[in-house]
Amino acid sequence: MAVSSEYTPPQDPLDVLHEDHEILVVNKPAGLLSVPGKGEHLSDCLLSRVQLVFPTALLVHRLDRDTSGVMVFGLTPHAQRHLGLQFEKRYTKKTYVARLAGKLEPKTGTADLPLIVDWPNRPRQMVDHENGKAASTDWRVLRQTDTETRVRLMPKTGRSHQLRVHMLALGHPILGDPLYAEGAAREDYDRLMLHSEELRLKHPDGGRGMSFRAKAPF
């Protein structure tokens, strides 16, 4: 099952949040791949667009195609290694904003549910308590109505589709999700309502703590 049959990425100009001698931080638009997919028609991606302007830029991490928000690139091999290690060791702190179907209760909590790829339906992931890899997400409700909840999500691990599957498992899929939402929760929205709002990390040159933010566009 493909996310969608056509890939028509947005043509927004590059939104640079921070640039220095070691790192580049940009605000990725929804609908744009982080890295090239298989095939020429999937070659347009944030990495290639960034490298047109910053030729030394190197990939550190990814966001799902349909997710928007803060992404960091290394501008030197040293920065790429340093940042990559921070992600691997979970030293980085990531905060997302999402809009969910229904009224999520309680107001705060942790989804601690191991995940594995759903092979017959890839790229879908699923909860699997026997074979899945550990995955943990803290949530905090920001506001809600009887039909919708706005939450802040703080993943402690970085599994594929983690936030999307965890919210689905709680019974509250992210609105506009082409893979995991159904009916009106998917069809009434023009995008996945998931945005990487803040990324905190240590600068590769000297280790100073830094925080980068991009306001959710929904």
Q: What is the pLDDT of residue 6?
A: 86
Q: What is the pTM of this model?
A: 0.95
Contact 52, 46 (CB under 8 A): no
> Which residues does residue 67 pair with via DSSP β-bridges, in sequence order?
none
Which of 40, 64, 92 corresponds to the end of one domain? Answer: 92
The mean pLDDT value of the chain amounts to 96
Domain assignment of residue 1, yes or no? no
Burial (CB count within 10 angstroms: exposed 0-12, middle 13-18, buried 19+), residue 158: middle
Residues 100 and 176 in one domain: yes
Identify whether residues 158 and 183 lie together within a single domain.
yes
pLDDT of residue 5: 59
The two structure tokens encoding residue 27: 């605000």
Same domain flag for 102 and 83: no
Nearest C-alpha neighbor of 165 from the set 141, 143, 144, 136: 136
Based on the domain organization, do 88 and 109 belong to the same domain? Answer: no
pLDDT digits (tens, 9 = 90+) for 82-141: 999 999 999 999 999 999 999 999 999 999 999 999 999 999 999 999 999 999 999 999
Q: Tell me, what's the pLDDT at 1? A: 32
d(C-alpha 49, C-alpha 26), whole Å: 11
How sure is the predictor about 3, in pLDDT bands with cuts at 50, 70 and 90?
very low
Identify whether 10 is part of a domain.
no
What are the Cα distances from residue 166, in Å, to 25, 69, 88, 200?
Answer: 27, 19, 21, 22
d(Cα 78, Cα 82) in Å, to the nearest integer?
6
Q: Is residue 204 part of a domain?
A: no
Q: What is the pLDDT of residue 40?
A: 92
- Residue 14: name the closest of 29, 34, 35, 36 by CA: 29
Kindly state whether residues 123 and 183 are assigned to the same domain.
yes
Averaged pLDDT, 70-81: 98
Greater pLDDT, 204 or 2: 204
Its sign, for the CA torsion 144, 148, 150, 151, is positive
- Residues 67 and 126 both lie in one domain: no
Q: 92, 116, 140 — which closes off a domain? A: 92
Task: Flag whether 210 is in a domain.
Answer: no
Tell me how far apart the alpha carbons of residues 56 and 58 are, in angstroms, rounded to a whole number: 6
205 inside domain: no
Same domain, 117 and 179: yes
Residue 214 in any domain: the answer is: no
Residues 134-176 pLDDT 10s: 999 999 999 999 999 999 999 999 999 999 999 999 999 999 9
Residue 154: which domain range?
A: 96-194
Find the length of the chain: 218
Please report, for the domain that includes residue 24, its CATH number. 3.30.2350.10
Q: Show which of 45, 60, 92 is a domain's final residue.
A: 92
| Active-site amino acid positions | 64
Does any domain span residue 167? yes
Residue 139 included in any domain: yes
Q: Identify whether residues 126 and 39 lie together within a single domain.
A: no
147 and 74 within one domain: no
Q: How far apart are CA 216 and CA 195, in angstroms?
A: 6
Total structural domains within the chain: 2
The pLDDT assigned to 2 comes to 37
